[in-house]
Structure formats: structure tokens, C-alpha cells
Amino acid sequence: MADSKITALTSIGASTDPANDPLVLVDVSDTSMAATGTTKKVTLNQLLGASGTATLASATITGDLTVDTSTLKVDSANDRVGIGITSPLAKLDIRQASAVEGLKVYVNDNGSTNIVNFRSYDNTLGEVTRYAIACNGTATWQNVGGVAGTAMTLNSTGLGVGASPSHRLTVSGTAAT
């Protein structure tokens, strides 16, 4: 089969509506070609197949990406990714729709301390529990069971329950009866 050369390409007319018209691949106006002056078009179904799916080796997307409304959301303006949420509030924001489920994982950089926070949420109570691990290795558990304050702190000194550890185990509070 001989090589074909496409020449004399012209732009598509102003009446072409990219939202509704098929994707125009080539407008052939060279009458010496077999397709004599016709416009070759392909529909999205021809590109994607009847199922509407495509397999890509790689892709670059400029702007936001939304998969199934809130299954996955990439917010390009704020550099955030959300799973189960339409407007992510942290670098990685993971949400569950039921009343007692939810997880939010993010890295907080306030300029002097990097902290990895794991927060669980209840739709009625809001933030229920927060686990934080600082870059110095200190781990804290706060708002456990919806009770404000730090419940436990674990660092190189020890474990503090209701207090900062001053020994291997430091406990503060009233004794159980």
C-alpha cells in the first residue's frame, strides 16, 4: 500500500459545536484523495467503545478531575485530593457517608513542626478522636470518645495517661473503683 499524504487542511466552520458534534479528525479538501472533499469524523463511542471506557498508558489532566461526583476529586486550585468528598479540605481528605465512619489523614506544616494527623469523625459530634505523630516521634491521642483534651502521650520518656510522661509510665486522674 502506498503512503498517503494529507495536504490542504482547512479549519472547521464556526458552526461546529465541540460539546455536541463528533470529534473532527481531519478535514480533507484535497480532491485528489479518495475521500474527495469530505470531512472525517469520529464519535466518542467510536473512540471509547460502547461501554464508554478507555485504557490509557498515561494521561496528563490540566485542571480538576472528578470521578463519579465524589468518589474521587482532584482539586487542582488547592492541590488537594478527596475520596468520598466533592470539596477536599486537606491535602488528602477521605470521607465516609455513614454517621459513624470517616477518616481524615493529613500532614500539618505550621512552619516549625510537621505533624501527621489521623482524625475520625462522627456526623453528629464532629471530630471524635485525633491521633497525631510529630516529627520528633511524640504521639498523642486527643478527644478520645468525644472528651476534649489529650488522653495519652507517647514519647521517648514514656507513656503518659492524662498527663505528659515524666517516667516510663505516668498516670494522672482519679482511681477507678
Q: Are strands 159-161 and 139-142 parallel, antiparallel or unpaired?
A: unpaired
Q: According to the model, what pLDDT value does residue 136 have?
A: 78
Range of the domain at 88: 65-168
Least-confidence region, from 42-46, 56-60, 67-71, 83-87: 42-46
Residue 96 lies in a domain: yes
Mean pLDDT of 47-60: 70
Between CA 105 and CA 90 the distance in angstroms is 8
Higher pLDDT, 70 or 119: 70
Q: Note whether 107 and 158 are same-domain residues.
A: yes
Higher pLDDT, 110 or 64: 64
Are 113 and 73 contained in the same domain?
A: yes
**Average pLDDT of every residue of the chain:** 72
107: confidence class by pLDDT, cuts 50, 70, 90? low
In a domain, 58, yes or no: no
Does the residue 173 lie in any domain?
A: no
42 and 86 in a common domain: no
Per the model's pLDDT, the better-predicted residue between 77 and 84 turns out to be 77
Looking at the fold, whether 44 and 69 belong to one and the same domain comes out as no
pLDDT tens per residue, range 112-150: 566 677 777 666 666 667 777 877 788 888 877 667 778
Quick check: helix, strand or coil at residue 8? coil
- pTM comes to 0.42
Ordered DSSP codes for 65-115:
EEETTTTEEEETTTTEEEES-SS-SSSEEE--SSTT--EEEEEEE-SS-EE
Give the helix/strand (H/E) hosting 44. helix 44-48
36 & 69 share domain: no
Does a structural domain hold residue 42? Answer: yes
Answer yes or no: is pLDDT of 171 > 80: yes
Residue range 82-104, pLDDT digits in tens: 988 899 999 988 887 665 555 55
What was the pLDDT predicted at 75? 95
- pLDDT value of residue 166: 93
Residue 177 has pLDDT above 80, yes or no: no
Question: In this structure, is residue 130 part of a structural domain?
Answer: yes
Please indicate, yes or no, if residue 93 is contained in any of the structural domains: yes
pLDDT: is 97 or 168 the higher one?
168
Do 95 and 30 share a structural domain?
no
> Which residues, 6+ apart, have CB-to-CB distance to 156 below 8 Å?
137
Q: Do 18 and 81 belong together in one domain?
A: no
